[in-house]
Chains A and B, each alone.
Chain A
Amino acid sequence: MSLGFSRAQATAMVVMVAFIIVGPAVLYPVFLMKVLCLALFACAFNLLPGYVGLLSFGHAAYFGMGSYIAAWTAKYWGLDAEAAIILGGLCGGALGLVFGWLAIRRQGIYFAMITLALAEMVYFFCLEAPFTGGEDGIQQVPRSPLFGIISTQQDMSLYWIIAAIFLGGFLLIHRIIHSPFGQVLQAIRENEPRAISLGYRVDDYKLLAFVLSAALAGVAGAAKSQVFGIATLTDVHSQMSGEVVLMTLIGGIGTVFGPVVGALLFGSLETYLAPFGDWVTVTQGAIFVACVLAFRRGLIGEIGARLKLGL
């Protein structure tokens, strides 16, 4: 296959697409759209720990800013859905360029701490800045039509658009991993001094990966603000940064499908345990601890290892 999927991955891909198509007949479209946005977010995040070896603890900054920018421009400039979402992605990418540039010279835990600190700054900026609406966030964002003509008012019409965005992002990430650029990333991850000795300016490659990851996180946040018609502090909060780490970890860091499964599991728990109030967090926590203990490589990582397949 020209996309570079192995046979096992192609099978998993078919299952995933089938689920996306059949899903809304069984489950609430809004719930599924939320899962798709989270899944894109997790896949974008996964690019860094999974394929570059960088653990970012501040990815909510790019997700959240994408969400705010898309919400604001859709509401006050009346931008079409696609323009608002693209702008959200560009904004995430631009922020990623600056933050990545600052963080990438540090290694390991220092890198993680800088990304966390920078994301906290973004959070406080969003809390204080006039355009974000403080505690209230940006509410009643209109669902603007796609290209100015295709209505997104109906959940089901928006669903196909969100599904297309997710699949587009998913395939792009897969392509990045299996591109000439991805090959260099893998070389850097396996033996950085050797890559340097071959003349690679490794920081430039890490930075481009960071920007791509942040931009796609921005797209995911922007899409989410279109689904729910709001952008709030939740999206930029450090809890969101932690959740994306968890989703990816549970699904399997460095696997193609792991983050998607992690996001589905995470979104389901959040939604279907909601009636139980405060117990949600406790139950979630318990399930996650159990998952991480039982499947150290994550669900998909573990399945892949058992079947000796790369998923």
Chain B
Amino acid sequence: MSDTILETSGLTKEFRGFVAVNGVDLRVETGTIHALIGPNGAGKTTCFNLLTKFLPPTRGTIRFKGRDITGMRPAEVARLGLVRSFQISAVFAHLTALQNVRVALQRGRGGSFDFWRAESVLDRYNARARELLDQVGLGEFATVPAGQLAYGRKRALEIATTLALEPEMLLLDEPTAGMTHADVDRIVALIRRVRQGRTILMVEHNLSVVEGLCDRITVLTRGRILAEGDYATVSRNEEVIAAYLGSEAGSVAHV
């Protein structure tokens, strides 16, 4: 029996009269990989912003691990174990890959206000940081400034940084967007490996990734949930085919 880790009810976000997210009731079960898909502008990123408190909802509530987190601040939500990545790659550009991961490790393990200590005390996190970099295939780029990494590697670094916090739940916003085939395969393999003991909610446009990875899919259009279910169910849904793929209708089943 699986239980619910994240649950929203009536989640709504209006931007000056424009409703970007409209009465969304989302339920994510513990230990699953759950996809949030939908056409551009459907409100997926806005949903993530609401769930991680980067935006205050206009209406509705959010519960994480049974706690109402609707009124919390983003940093507190992250500390509860709900950590997000961003659609646009978010690395600390002038820090090396290793330092990027250490910044996350440092947050989890304390001492971040120590302004009188030498930076070298952070070396105690190096071993763990290297492990995490190896895990995403960035072992040899440890000393490269993150800003100089290729796009796919930046995304991989982001995932390593997020994993450093050992979050119970990850929200990944298009983790494979703009990646080469090889990079996509690496990320998919990585997500498979790190799902142990975690719940993942991901926005993903690449349907073959969704098909291969996700246990459950929620389709969002114009801020509303259109359909929900496993890949087979959702990909056969006429409305989904019409709304999500438009002129390409029918191709869902063949991706």
Contacts and interface: CB of A to CB of B under 8 A. Distances in A.
Interface of A: 2-4, 172, 175-176, 178-184, 186-187, 190-191, 193-202, 204-205, 208, 212
Given A4-B119, A197-B84, A202-B75, A180 B111 contact: yes
B83 A183 contact: no
B20 interface: no
Contacts of A194: 86, 90-92
Contact of A191 (B90, B111, B120): B90
A198 B104 contact: yes
B160 to A, nearest CB: 12
B61 to A, nearest CB: 21
A26 B148 CA distance: 48
Contacts of B73: 201
B113 to A, nearest CB: 6
Interface residues of B, number: 39
A212 B116 CA distance: 11
Interface string B93-136: 11100010011101110011111111111100000000000000
A199 B92 contact: no
A197 B106 contact: no
Contacts of B111: 180
A212 B78 CA distance: 27
B118 A183 contact: no
Interface in B119-161: 119-122, 161
B22 interface: no
A186 B95 contact: yes
A179 B117 contact: yes
Nearest to B79: A199
Contacts of B107: 184, 198-200
B74 A196 contact: yes
B121 A199 contact: no
A180 B122 contact: yes
Contacts of A178: 118-119
Interface in B36-78: 52, 54, 73-75, 78
Given A180-B112, A184-B112, A197 B86 contact: yes
Contacts of B162: 198
Contacts, number: 110
Contacts of A200: 75, 107, 112
Contacts of B74: 196-197
Contacts of B94: 186, 190
A190 B115 contact: no
B165 interface: yes
A171 B54 CA distance: 37
Contacts of A184: 103, 106-107, 112
B92 A2 contact: no
Contacts of B120: 2, 4
Contact of A179 (B52, B90, B119): B119
A179 B116 CA distance: 7
A181 B118 contact: no
B115 A175 contact: yes
B114 A196 contact: no
B165 A187 contact: no
B118 A199 contact: no
Contacts of A182: 115, 119
18 contacts: A179-B115, A179-B118, A180-B122, A181-B115, A182-B115, A183-B106, A186-B95, A187-B95, A190-B93, A191-B92, A196-B75, A197-B90, A198-B104, A199-B75, A199-B79, A205-B112, A205-B113, A208-B115
Contacts of B113: 180-181, 204-205, 208
Contacts of B84: 197
Contacts of B106: 180, 183-184
B75 A181 contact: no
A276 B119 CA distance: 48
B86 A199 contact: no
A210 to B, nearest CB: 12
Closest 9 CB pairs of A and B: A199-B78, A181-B115, A194-B90, A190-B92, A199-B79, A176-B115, A201-B75, A178-B119, A187-B103
Nearest to B111: A180
Contacts of A201: 73, 75
A186 B120 CA distance: 16
A183 B75 contact: no
A251 B114 CA distance: 28
A81 B83 CA distance: 51
Contacts of B93: 190-191
A198 B119 contact: no
Residue from the set A184, A198, A202 with the largest chain B CB neighbour count within 10 Å: A198
Contacts of A183: 95, 99, 102-103, 106, 119, 122
A73 to B, nearest CB: 26
A20 to B, nearest CB: 23
B243 to A, nearest CB: 30
Contacts of B91: 191, 194
A201 to B, nearest CB: 5
Given A175-B116, A175-B118, A196-B54, 18 more contacts: A2-B120, A4-B118, A178-B119, A179-B119, A180-B113, A180-B119, A181-B112, A181-B114, A181-B117, A183-B103, A183-B106, A184-B103, A187-B92, A190-B93, A190-B95, A198-B104, A198-B107, A208-B113
